[in-house]
Amino acid sequence: MGIVRRLSAEEVMKVAKAMLIQNCVDPSLPKHVFGLSHQETTDVELACLLLASAEKVAKQEHDEGSRLLNLCDFLSSRTGSSVQRTVHYFTKALQERIAREAGRNEEEGYRHSEETMAYGNPTIISCFLNLPFSQVTQFAGIQTIVESVTSVKRVHYIDLAIRSGTQCIVLMQALATSHECPIELLKITAVGTSSKQKMEETGKGLARFAEALNLPFSFQIILVRDIQDLNKDMFQTQADEVVAIYSPVLLNHMIRKPSRLESLLKVVRKLNPCVMVVIEADTDHNSPNFLGRFNDALLSYSAYFECLEVCMDRSDPNRMTMEDTYLSRQIRNIVATEGEDRVFRRMKIEAWRNLFAGFSMVEQELSMSSLYQAELLVKSFACGSSCTLDRNGKCLTIGWKGRSFLSVSAWKFHQEEA
């Protein structure tokens, strides 16, 4: 007897959308419709309710939207299946949107959570170890930097979001074992707008690791109140060193205030790096159209919640914290807010290419070696067969069952003005 393939969480949402378009939202919907199992039919019905609620909210039909959301709230669960969890958090986000539109601002604001959630946080470490996405993009990005400085003796590595510094450890190991050109100095500069104490702790840990590797090393912190305060002179670059820049999932938070992004990229251009590696979420959560943004976010997070379901136990406290705190915050921000309050403005790699072109940035091809090593790393995970590793032009994307989550790309700057 063959194995019956079940719908993925994203497919459940797509079937529900198709049914909604065909006006199939009906509590008396027959079981096993479209050949679905009982559980799949239940999931699709729940997703239909959520999508119908979103349409009511989009039309500002708040009374009817609230009634449907109360049903979603009752039928979904933060401890259930991936579909139930996804519906639970999107229901809360829609309820918050209604409250905001009614003048009841129940959320005090959204701070940039990526910095605060990364410094030795056990939840982040657990998800980093259990899910392949961050590890693969981190490895491919650092491998690209290593290959760009193979004949360099003095390397100045600038990290725009150093967090716990795991990417630096990968870089240090690679440079310490390089026999082609022994390193005379690895200078690491960490840039941030908060968490100076955490950055200092990261620097001390990296210094100890460099000492164990017998790797000449220096570490400096550039802390600015606003990224627009950053300037080239703060980096203390030397004529005999080569600069490489690493930007991990940072730039999307500047999209809402383009002047900050423009200011940062102008400073980066003046530093004339041999390469700038950019890792970003490869999703489209920046549409000004609420319903379009809601639908794309629903598909993306459905896939991510399913990945968590496969890779971590339902009762795992780190998974619960990731979903209930971090993912919930992101979903609420994407769904419930507009204007400058909307911090999480992710874009696809194609949109980043268009934006970077305006700053004379030229995309570089990722090497076959980094791609091959990324493939090996994905296969080392139990869930590797469900991960999607693709080339998109010159960059690499990774996701879940065809749904892209992250992209890693490499860039250089035209220096005509110089």
pLDDT, tens digit, 9 for 90 and up, residues 197-220: 999 999 999 999 999 999 999 999
Indicate if the pLDDT at residue 4 is higher than 70. Answer: no
| pLDDT tens per residue, range 225-268 | 999 999 999 999 999 999 999 999 999 989 998 999 999 999 99
Give the pLDDT band of residue 195 (cuts 50, 70, 90). confident
Look up the pTM and report it.
0.92
Indicate if the pLDDT at residue 416 is higher than 80. Answer: no
| pLDDT tens per residue, range 366-399 | 999 899 889 999 999 999 999 999 999 999 999 9
| pLDDT tens per residue, range 70-128 | 999 999 999 999 999 999 999 999 999 999 998 876 554 445 444 445 555 888 888 98
pLDDT of residue 87: 98
Give the pLDDT band of residue 312 (cuts 50, 70, 90). very high
CA 140 to centroid of chain Cα atoms: 15
Domains of the chain are: 9-106+287-341 (no CATH), 114-283+346-413 (3.40.50.150)
